[in-house]
Amino acid sequence: KTLTLSKTLLNGDTLPVSLITSNGYRMDMQDLNVDFGKRSALTDKEVAGDGPIGRFRANKMVLQPDANRLSFIGDVTIRITQQNKGGEQ
């Protein structure tokens, strides 16, 4: 079975889809296709986000939790924020 999440309608306003991880990453996108049978998710639209190491964006994202893999595809940009030895930016 596949679940497709697109812009969420709330009181007439549309909201993008966001994924927030327990280790501090956030990814924002316009839609997300989830395949429960394959335990995977993908979006073929722009995805952007940030986390402990910095910011990123790509044209597409594929999530395969069984393979422990998150792939960003197409015009990928990553900006790594250097941290000092104490872990602060």
Q: Is residue 85 part of a domain?
A: no
* Domain with 9 in it: 2-80
Q: Does 3 have pLDDT greater than 50? A: no
Q: Is residue 20 part of a domain?
A: yes
pTM above 0.75, yes or no: no
Q: Is residue 68 part of a domain?
A: yes
DSSP 58: E
Dihedral over alpha carbons 52, 58, 61, 66 (to 10 degrees): -40
**Which pLDDT tens digit goes with each residue over 16-28?**
788 888 888 899 9
Q: Are 72 and 56 in contact (CB under 8 A)?
A: yes
Domain tally, the chain: 1
